[in-house]
Structures are given as structure tokens and as C-alpha cells.
């Protein structure tokens, strides 16, 4: 809040005043564009996969390393000033950082760009973001948050691995995708473990209810440790029974943690409830992948999409809506449009996971899931886009 107040005294274009503004808006627009292309691919209007020459790989990359990295950037660049009490990255430096992200999107649209150039352009963003965040955290003597920078850097390594696999420069297959999903779920575990119980308890207090979204440092350590082991095992040995066991332990740890937050007591406020829904997809995804390894390989797609469309999609949308409302001076309350987009993203995730259980009917279910995803993010862009483009309420230039 100190950084926000100080930023409000400076002049400048509103879109470049805070990291959440350009990155959240771009993430929403990209989510609509990318899923529209994917739906066209599925129904037979093949895009060709652009630089990857494979539409499924382009779809995976556009979600994990384009959409999600924009949300991570918007969140981190907005949270770090509050963690460190330093001024936010804004103006020309923010525009340059956003330009790196945007350059990656452009480069991967053109198959004619040499593989080396495409890799260099697209993989530059996350390491630079990690360096910027580390500089701010170290300068603000907020070392406890350095692990966030490490996870961003590892996400960048996953992006590089993905490119090297796609362009045939290494013989590995699927490591980059699994590493990307794993790093994002670990980030949700770290950040979600802070914001979900905190925001839930704040809402309980406003309703004059007991602040009993409980946290426990020993349980948190178990969650992070078991998740780290499970993700590493899944990356390097995705078919091992030991991996299934590790995923099961991590799922139980996450489920226990989530139950202690008592999210059902906040069912009347979608802005709070959706955080619990998004987090719940992590243990569901881990359990489904464990079941795919141990019982039925066909469940693998459902487990993967529980983590991606479910946890990553829902939690990022929940964070973007809440952060935008709070940092633009609006009430932390879910209006009708916000409630509708939460319903759409939840239904989309449920359908996408369900498609793996009924492969004979998967095509229409996948298309319906895609259309609901498109509706959710179109609502986000229409409803929240103007907030990103205009000054914070109560400040002239923030």
C-alpha cells in the first residue's frame, strides 16, 4: 500500500503505471485469441501450428508460456512493491519488459523465422523478469520471497526445454511441458498458501465471523516438500509407480491444507470462493495423474487438464479479477459479470476434465469447454479492460 500511494503521485499513461495493467489485459486478450485458434483447429480449420508446425504443441505453449507467464508477471510486479515498500516498475521499464513478452508472441506466429531466433526471442522474457524481481526483492531486503524468483526462473528453463524439444535440438519428449505445468502448480501452492487464507480471513472478519481459515507452518512445509518431490518425479519419470505414490501424498497434503481454510463458509462471496475452487484443482489433478499411472492411462489427459484448465486457468483468473479491483480502488465484491465469468471458467474446466472420461464423446465436450473458456475471458476483457486503461479511483494519475 505504501508503494501504491507513492505511485499515485506520479504522472503517466495509466496502462504503464503498474505491472498488472498491461500484463493482465494482454493475458485476457491472448486467452481469447489462443482458444479461438484452438477451437478452429479442433473443428478442422487447421492453423498449422505456426512456428511449431504442430497445433497441439502451439496450444500447449500458448497457455503455459504465453498466457500464464503474463499473469505471473502482472501479479509479481504488483506484489513486489507491497512486499518491499519500493516504487513499482512503471513507465518505460515496464513497457520494455512487456515488449519482451509481446515479441515472443509475434515471433512464434511466423514459421519463416529461424528456430534459433524464435527460441532466443521467446525465452528471453522470463529470465529477465526473474532478474528484475530479484533486484527489487534484494534491494528491499525481502529475501523470504526469493523463492518466487527461483520458480519464475525455472519456468523460464521449462520454456527453453519446450523449445529445444519442439525444434528437435534435444531428444527429450514432454519434459518442458511437464516442467512448465509443475512450476506453475508450485507457484500456486506458494502464493495461494498465502493469499487464500489471508483473503478468506479478511472476508470472515468483515462478516463478523470467526477468522478460522487456519494455517500451519508444519503442514505448509509438508505441502511444499511433497509437491516438489511429486513434480520432480513426474517430470523425470512420468510412468513410475513411485511417481504415483508421490503425487498421492502431495494431493492429500494439498487437500488437508485446503480443508483447513474452510472455504465453504465464504460461499456467498464468489470473489473469495473462486480462490478455493481454483486451489482445489491441484489435489484433483495430482490424484488423477496418479490414477493414470497406477490404474488407467486414459485418465492422464483429465489429470493434466485439471492442473491446467482447472487450477492454473481458474486461479489466474481469480487473482487477476481480485487484484484489478483492489488496485484500481474498487470494492472487493463480485458483480454479476464477475460471477458469470467465474461460472464459465469453472464449467469449462469441469467439461475439459470430463472429456477424458468419455473419449467417444470428447470432441463436442472439448469444443463446449473451449467456448466457455472464451466466454470467461471475453467477459474479463470487456469488464476489466477499462479498469486497466484508466486511473485508479481516487487518484488522478495512478
pLDDT digits (tens, 9 = 90+) for 226-271: 999 999 999 999 999 999 999 999 999 999 999 999 999 999 999 9
Nearest partner of 320 among 342, 336, 302, judged by Cα: 342
Q: 309, 193, 316: which is closest to 254 by C-alpha? A: 193
pLDDT at 13: 84
Q: Please say whether the beta carbons of 144 and 201 come within 8 A.
A: no
* pLDDT value of residue 2: 41
Supply 63's cell numbers: 497457455
Answer whether 71's CB lies under 8 Å from 313's CB: no
Burial (0-12, 13-18, 19+ Cβ within 10 Å), 198? middle
Return d(Cα 160, Cα 120) in angstroms, integer: 9
For 74-118, how does the pLDDT look when each residue is reduced to its tens digit (9 = 90+)? 999 999 999 999 999 999 999 999 999 999 999 999 999 999 999
Give DSSP secondary structure letters for 185-251: HHHHHHHHHHHHHHHHHHHHHHTT--------HHHHHHHHHHHHHHHHHHHH-TT-HHHHHHHHHHH
C-beta separation of 110 from 50 below 8 A: yes
Averaged pLDDT of the chain: 94
Give CA angle at 341 (337, 342), nearest 5°. 115
Query: What one-character-per-residue DSSP string does 48-80 give?
Result: TTGGGS-HHHHHHHIIIIIIHHHHHHHHHHHHH
Q: Of the candidates 115, 100, 106, 105, which has an alpha carbon nearest to the alpha carbon of residue 163?
A: 115
Contact in structure between 249 and 283 (CB atoms under 8 Å) = no
pLDDT of residue 395: 58
For the chain, helix (H) and strand (E) counts, in that order, are: 16, 0
Handedness of CA 125, 53, 239, 64 (dihedral sign): positive
Look-up of cell digits 480449420: 45
CB 213 within 8 A of CB 200: yes
In three-state secondary structure terms, 369 is helix
Residue ranges in the chain modelled with pLDDT below 70? 1-12, 395-398
331 SS3 class = coil
DSSP state of 169: S
- Sequence-ordered list of residues with C-beta below 8 angstroms from that of 217, at least 6 positions apart, any chain: none
Amino acid at each position: 500500500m505504501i508503494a501504491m500511494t507513492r505511485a499515485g503521485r506520479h504522472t503517466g499513461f495509466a496502462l504503464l503505471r503498474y505491472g498488472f495493467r498491461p500484463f493482465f489485459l494482454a493475458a485476457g486478450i491472448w486467452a481469447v485469441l489462443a482458444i479461438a485458434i484452438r477451437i478452429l483447429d479442433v473443428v478442422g480449420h487447421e492453423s498449422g501450428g505456426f512456428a511449431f508446425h504442430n497445433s497441439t504443441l502451439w496450444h500447449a505453449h500458448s497457455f503455459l508460456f504465453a498466457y500464464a507467464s503474463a499473469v505471473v508477471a502482472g501479479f509479481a510486479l504488483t506484489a513486489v512493491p507491497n512486499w518491499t515498500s519500493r516504487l513499482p516498475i512503471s513507465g518505460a521499464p515496464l513497457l520494455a519488459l512487456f515488449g519482451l513478452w509481446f515479441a515472443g508472441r509475434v515471433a512464434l506466429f511466423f514459421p519463416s523465422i529461424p528456430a534459433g531466433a524464435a527460441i532466443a526471442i521467446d525465452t528471453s522474457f522470463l529470465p529477465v523478469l526473474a532478474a528484475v524481481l530479484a533486484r527489487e526483492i534484494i534491494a528491499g531486503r525481502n529475501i523470504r520471497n526469493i523463492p518466487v524468483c527461483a520458480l519464475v526462473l525455472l519456468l523460464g528453463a521449462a520454456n527453453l526445454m519446450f523449445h529445444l524439444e519442439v525444434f528437435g535440438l534435444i531428444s527429450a519428449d514432454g519434459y518442458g511441458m511437464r516442467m512448465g505445468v509443475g512450476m506453475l502448480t508450485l507457484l500456486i501452492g506458494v502464493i495461494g498458501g498465502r493469499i487464500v487464507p489471508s483473503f478468506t480471513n479478511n472476508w470472515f472478519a468483515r462478516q463478523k465471523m470467526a477468522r478460522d481459515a487456519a494455517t500451519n507452518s508444519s503442514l505448509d512445509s509438508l505441502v511444499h516438500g511433497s509437491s516438489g518431490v511429486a513434480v520432480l518425479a513426474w517430470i523425470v519419470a512420468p510412468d513410475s509407480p513411485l511417481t504415483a505414490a508421490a503425487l498421492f501424498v502431495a494431493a492429500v497434503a494439498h487437500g488437508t491444507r485446503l480443508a483447513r481454510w474452510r472455504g465453504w463458509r465464504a460461499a456467498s462471496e464468489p470473489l473469495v470462493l473462486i480462490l478455493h475452487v481454483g486451489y482445489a484443482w491441484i489435489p484433483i489433478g495430482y490424484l488423477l495423474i496418479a490414477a493414470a499411472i497406477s490404474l488407467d492411462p486414459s485418465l492422464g489427459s483429465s489429470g493434466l487438464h485439471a492442473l491446467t484448465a482447472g487450477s492454473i486457468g481458474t486461479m489466474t483468473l481469480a487473482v487477476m479479477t481480485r487484484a484489478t479491483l483492489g488496485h484500481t480502488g474498487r470494492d472487493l465484491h463480485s458483480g454479476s459479470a464477475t460471477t458469470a465469468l467465474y461460472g464459465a471458467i469453472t464449467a469449462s474446466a469441469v467439461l475439459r476434465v470430463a472429456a477424458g472420461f468419455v473419449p467417444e464423446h470428447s470432441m463436442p465436450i472439448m469444443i463446449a469447454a473451449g467456448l466457455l473458456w472464451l466466454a470467461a475471458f471475453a467477459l474479463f476483457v470487456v469488464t476489466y479492460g477499462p479498469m486497466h486503461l484508466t486511473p485508479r479511483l481516487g487518484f488522478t494519475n495512478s
